[in-house]
Structures are given as C-alpha cells and as structure tokens.
Amino acid sequence: MTPERTRRPGVPRKRLVPLALVVVVGGLAAGCGADQPPTTTEWADGVCSAVSTWESSLESAVQPIASGDVSKDSLETAADDAKSATETLKSDLEDLGKPDTQVAQQAQDQVDTLTSQLQADVDAVKSAVEDASGITGITAAVTTATTTVATMKTQVNATITSLKQLDAKGELTTAFQQASSCQQLTSGS
C-alpha cells in the first residue's frame, strides 16, 4: 500500500514555484540599489549632522577648561577628546561618500580638505599640550587650543558656505536648506 498524498487547500503547487521565483528576484533587485549615492539632501543632512555632533563633542571637551579647570591633565583630556571627535567626524564624512550631483567630486574634495585641516589643527593642539610645562607652558597651550578651536569652527563654516555655492544649479544650496540637520546647525550657530 502506498501512503495517500494529502492535498492542502490553497495555492496549487504549480503556482508556488513562479511566486517564489518572483519573491527571490524581487529581493535581489531591491538589494542592487544599496550602493546608490545619497541624494543631495541626504548628503547635506549627513554633513550637517556629523558637524553638529562634532561641535557638541568639541564643546564638551573644552567645557572643564572653560569652567576654570586649567591643568596639564585637563588639557590633555580635552585634546584627546577633541582628537577623538575629529576622527569621528572624518569617519562619518567619509562614510557619506559623494553627493548625487554633477559637482560630486568637487564637494568630496572640499570635505576631504576640511577633514585634513581639522586633523592638522587637532594635532597642533595636542602637540602644544604635550609640550606644555609649568604655568607659562599651560597658559600658552590654552591660548593655542582656544585659537585653534575658533579656527576649526571657522573652517567648518567656510566649507559649508563653499559647498552651498559650489554648483550653478543650486542643488547643494537647496539640499542644505532642506536638510533638517542643517537647519538645526544654522539656528544653533
């Protein structure tokens, strides 16, 4: 005796194979777009979000010094925190890639230049702090750090302004205006 096959109610087997094929092919096709560059607004939002996080981290790093805790240890901690924040900014901006615009390479070049400048600035602060000894050295390191942090913020603002003006069509200007992180960054500055 052969076991009797039971038939399940519902979709006939002949229809399940093509349906499964459509689901698999559709899933693969959906995954193909994963490497698409961000839209200009997504890119601008990512830039402003990364910059906003960096600025907050930088302010937190220098807060103890601004509150009067001026010592070699507090300066070293602030310099280390600023370096870490800058490395995170660089990584976040690199992860964004290029915006989806005709001036993508120029935009990427400007961001790369900014991160190089910021890294050099942080290295200068770190060096000034490491070389500080005595009250005169610590005072000089505080002056270097204060001046350099102001320069870093100016470099960031100048780069964002330059990015907005980069293309004749105004794609990036519009993107920076529409990106919520950029609106928060502009209102907070």
User: In this predicted model, what pLDDT tens digit does every residue of 96-147 receive, in sequence order?
Assistant: 989 888 898 999 999 999 999 999 999 999 999 999 998 899 999 999 999 9
Q: Is residue 75 part of a domain?
A: yes
Q: Is residue 171 very low, low, confident or very high in pLDDT (cuts 50, 70, 90)?
A: confident
Domain of 128 in residue numbering reads as: 40-188
Q: Is residue 7 part of a domain?
A: no
CA distances from 25 to 18, 20, 36 (A): 10, 9, 19
Whole-number mean pLDDT of the chain? 82
CA distances from 9 to 2, 25, 165, 179 (A): 22, 26, 64, 52
Question: Which amino acid makes up residue 103?
Answer: V
Q: Is residue 4 part of a domain?
A: no
Structural tokens at position 171: 């794609």
Q: Does the pLDDT at position 69 exceed 90?
A: no
Q: Is residue 81 part of a domain?
A: yes
Q: How many domains does the chain have?
A: 1
Q: Is residue 22 part of a domain?
A: no
Q: Is residue 9 part of a domain?
A: no
Q: Is residue 169 very low, low, confident or very high in pLDDT (cuts 50, 70, 90)?
A: confident
Instruction: State how far the Cα of 141 lies from the Cα of 127, in Å rounded to an integer.
Output: 9
pLDDT at 66: 85
Helices and strands of the chain, counted as H and E runs: 7, 0
Instruction: State how far the Cα of 184 lies from the Cα of 147, in Å rounded to an integer.
Output: 25
Q: Is residue 11 part of a domain?
A: no
Per-residue pLDDT reduced to its tens digit, 22-57: 333 333 334 444 567 788 899 999 999 999 999 999
